[in-house]
């Protein structure tokens, strides 16, 4: 980003003080965020309707053409950023990034002040990312795999310091980097995120009268603490570990069948677990150009949790979802979010580069006095080689995701023999893109991506072809 540098000199009776103010602007847009979606499930429903069965259901489109979702193929239209920084001798300073989109204006990622009272010691307050210890492997073309094939970024190996992880918009961080000698450094940092008053519900007074549990406050902010340590030897290796706190929560969403109509409504429930966890990672970079980064995440089990607004308890007919049902969900089980292990490899050369990441989730479960359910084993593999052709750079993307079966206490597939057994499935995606700097600070990228529509847990997923054309222009 080209920066306009303004040096302000302020003369005071006590002496002279200098401040540095940096203003930068950036425009990026998905010029042609175009997708072609083939919905085989809609075709199956329309065939049933064509047989004059259950004609009260409207016909669904079997193919959809239009803008998609997500970066590079997003349909977000033009997006402009104004990035402003100011500091006094890098002792105190601030940063704000404002984003302007077709759907509104708002703060994007950064709105914070910092203070460096001592060498190596730093205090941040506000909304921000800090990537001091983040994973080293990150694919900037992850969306080129198209649609729902999940391509993880560097956080998959080791999570960054982030103030707005679960909807919170502000936090407070202290960090200290101690240089032991010319080649080694010790780092320690702690972050408290999701803090008021920057995180609040609209019209909190009105909402509190009706639903006090909906109003965000700092009473339970001690849950949201992140602490990390790292030891780094330059050009050799880095070892890091952290605790990432979170208030234990379970999101329970009910999925209702809309594809194949039966005399009785059919549905099933999906659980999403948020739990505090311990993370550890080891990065090796002894060979020039080569980085190997390995990480693991251990969520902590819990019993008690609070209902969320997204849970079925707030959506369904309350006569069907009594307090007894809520107590059964909440108290009678031990919840264990899946463990996670990942490895990333990246090699960079003047003419050729390659990156790859493989991640696995396993060991998740819900256990009660008499029943239990084991979450599926999942594995995600992603590789992205790139080639410098001189006039441009070409990037290939391949992704594969496997989801195993969800099992009960007897090792049987949950809902086996029913319309939608939780027997897992797989997803596959591929993409190719060409990128080029057409003039200084202006990158244009175009490509095509494909995601195969397989069957996952009895649900026919959509086949998607994406044709994104992306422009990033800084000035």
Residue 183, pLDDT score: 93
Where do the structural domains in the chain lie, given as residue ranges?
Answer: 4-474
Work out whether the CA dihedral 134, 137, 143, 149 comes out positive or negative.
Answer: negative
Residue 51, pLDDT score: 57
Place of tokens 């990156």: 355
pLDDT of 177-204, one tens digit each?
999 999 999 999 999 987 765 544 444 4
Residue 163 pairs in a beta bridge with: none
pLDDT of 218-249, one tens digit each?
666 778 899 999 999 999 999 999 999 988 88
Q: Which of 116-125, 235-244, 286-295, 316-325 has the lowest mean pLDDT?
A: 316-325
CA dist., res. 162 & res. 182, Å (int): 29
Length of the chain (residues): 475
Place of tokens 């969900």: 329
Measured at the CA of 147, the angle between CA 144 and CA 148, to 5 degrees, comes to 120
Stretch (H or E) spanning 40: helix 40-50
Stretch (H or E) spanning 328: helix 323-331
For the cut 70, the answer to whether the pLDDT of residue 41 exceeds it is no
* pLDDT tier, 114 (very low <50, low <70, confident <90, very high otherwise): very high
Q: Provide mean pLDDT across the span 150-162.
A: 80
Token pair recorded at residue 52: 């004059």
Distances (CA, A) of 410 to 174, 336, 355, 375: 48, 18, 40, 13
Beta carbons of 432 and 397 less than 8 angstroms apart = yes
Q: Provide mean pLDDT across the span 403-420.
A: 87
Beta carbons of 458 and 442 less than 8 angstroms apart = no
Token pair recorded at residue 45: 């429903």
Terminal Cα-to-Cα distance of the chain (whole angstroms): 6
Residue 11, pLDDT score: 31
Beta strands in 285-424 (DSSP E): 290-299, 334-336, 339-348, 352-362, 365-367, 372-374, 378-388, 393-403, 407-408
Residue 417, pLDDT score: 82
Q: Provide mean pLDDT across the span 4-8.
A: 33
Work out whether the CA dihedral 307, 310, 312, 318 comes out positive or negative.
Answer: positive
In 148-293, alpha helices (H): 204-210
CA dist., res. 361 & res. 354, Å (int): 24
User: Which of 268, 258, 274 is closest to 423 using CA atoms?
Assistant: 268
Place of tokens 């979606």: 37
For the cut 60, the answer to whether the pLDDT of residue 292 exceeds it is yes
For the cut 90, the answer to whether the pLDDT of residue 155 exceeds it is no
Cis peptide bond prior to 359, omega within 30° of 0? no
Residue 264, pLDDT score: 40
CA dist., res. 324 & res. 303, Å (int): 16
Beta carbons of 216 and 201 less than 8 angstroms apart = yes
Q: Pick the more confident residue, 414 or 293.
A: 293
Q: Pick the more confident residue, 417 or 311.
A: 417
pLDDT of 120-146, one tens digit each?
999 999 999 898 898 778 755 545 544
For the cut 50, the answer to whether the pLDDT of residue 62 exceeds it is yes
Residue 60, pLDDT score: 66
Q: Which of 97-106, 314-323, 341-350 has the lowest mean pLDDT?
A: 314-323
For the cut 80, the answer to whether the pLDDT of residue 56 exceeds it is no
For the cut 70, the answer to whether the pLDDT of residue 463 exceeds it is yes
Q: Provide mean pLDDT across the span 67-76.
A: 47
pLDDT of 341-391, one tens digit each?
999 999 999 899 999 999 999 999 998 887 888 999 999 898 889 999 999
- Residues ≥6 apart with Cβ < 8 Å to 314: 307, 308
Q: Do β-strands 455-456 and 407-408 pair in parallel, antiparallel, or remain unpaired? A: unpaired
pLDDT of 164-176, one tens digit each?
876 567 889 999 9
For the cut 90, the answer to whether the pLDDT of residue 4 exceeds it is no
* pLDDT tier, 106 (very low <50, low <70, confident <90, very high otherwise): confident
DSSP secondary structure string for all residues of 45-65: HHHHHHTTSSTTSPP--SEEE
Question: Checking phi first, is residue 459 left (phi over 0); if not, alpha (psi -120 to 50) or beta?
Answer: beta
Q: Provide mean pLDDT across the span 433-448.
A: 86
Mean pLDDT score of the chain = 77
Residue 225 pairs in a beta bridge with: 192
Residue 248, pLDDT score: 87
User: Which of 386, 474, 387, 391 is closest to 436 using CA atoms?
Assistant: 391
Could you please state the CATH topology (level 3) that the domain comprising 4-474 is classified under.
Porin (2.40.160)
Token pair recorded at residue 159: 């999570």
CA dist., res. 289 & res. 266, Å (int): 54
CA dist., res. 149 & res. 464, Å (int): 11
Q: Pick the more confident residue, 467 or 215.
A: 467
Residue 109 pairs in a beta bridge with: none
For the cut 80, the answer to whether the pLDDT of residue 206 exceeds it is no
Residue 257, pLDDT score: 46
Residue 145, pLDDT score: 46
For the cut 50, the answer to whether the pLDDT of residue 16 exceeds it is no
């Amino acid at each position: 980003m080209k920066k306009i540098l303004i040096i302000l000199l302020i003369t005071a009776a006590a002496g002279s003080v200098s401040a540095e103010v940096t203003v930068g602007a950036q425009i990026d847009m998905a010029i042609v965020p175009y997708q072609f979606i083939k919905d085989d499930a809609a075709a199956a429903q329309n065939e049933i309707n064509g047989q004059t069965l259950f004609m009260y259901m409207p016909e669904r489109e079997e193919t959809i053409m239009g803008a998609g979702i997500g970066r590079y193929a997003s349909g977000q239209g033009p997006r402009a950023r104004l990035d402003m920084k100011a500091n006094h001798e890098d002792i105190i300073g601030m940063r704000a990034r404002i984003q302007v989109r077709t759907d509104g204006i708002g703060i994007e990622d950064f709105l914070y002040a910092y203070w460096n009272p001592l060498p190596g010691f730093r205090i941040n307050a506000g909304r921000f990312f800090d990537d001091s210890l983040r994973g080293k492997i990150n694919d900037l073309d992850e969306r080129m795999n198209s649609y729902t094939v999940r391509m993880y970024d560097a956080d998959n190996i080791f999570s960054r310091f982030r103030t707005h992880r679960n909807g919170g918009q502000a936090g407070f961080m202290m960090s200290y980097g101690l240089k032991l000698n010319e080649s080694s450094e010790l780092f320690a940092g702690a972050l408290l995120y999701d803090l008021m008053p920057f995180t609040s519900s609209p019209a909190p007074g009105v909402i509190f009268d009706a639903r006090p549990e909906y109003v965000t406050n700092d009473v339970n902010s001690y849950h949201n603490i992140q602490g990390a340590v790292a030891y780094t030897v330059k050009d050799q290796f880095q070892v890091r570990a952290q605790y990432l706190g979170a208030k234990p929560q379970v999101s329970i969403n009910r999925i209702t069948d809309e594809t194949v109509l039966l005399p009785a409504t059919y549905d099933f429930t999906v659980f999403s677990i948020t739990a505090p966890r311990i993370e550890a990672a080891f990065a090796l970079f002894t060979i020039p150009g080569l980085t190997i980064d390995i990480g693991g995440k251990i969520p902590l089990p819990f019993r008690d949790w609070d209902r969320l607004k997204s849970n079925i308890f707030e959506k369904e007919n309350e006569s069907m979802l009594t307090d007894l049902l809520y107590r059964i969900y909440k108290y009678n089980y031990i919840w264990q979010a899946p463990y996670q292990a990942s490895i990333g490899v990246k090699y960079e050369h003047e003419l050729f580069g390659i990156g790859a990441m493989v991640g696995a989730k396993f060991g998740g479960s819900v256990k009660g006095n008499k029943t239990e359910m084991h979450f599926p084993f999942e594995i995600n593999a992603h590789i992205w080689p790139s080639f410098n052709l001189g006039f441009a750079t070409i990037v290939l993307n391949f992704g594969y995701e496997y989801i195993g079966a969800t099992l009960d206490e007897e090792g049987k597939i949950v809902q086996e023999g029913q319309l939608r057994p939780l027997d897992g499935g797989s997803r596959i995606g591929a993409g190719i893109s060409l990128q080029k700097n057409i003039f200084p600070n202006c990158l244009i990228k175009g490509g095509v991506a494909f995601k195969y529509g397989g069957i996952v847990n009895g649900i026919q997923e959509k086949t998607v072809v994406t044709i994104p054309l992306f422009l990033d222009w800084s000035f």
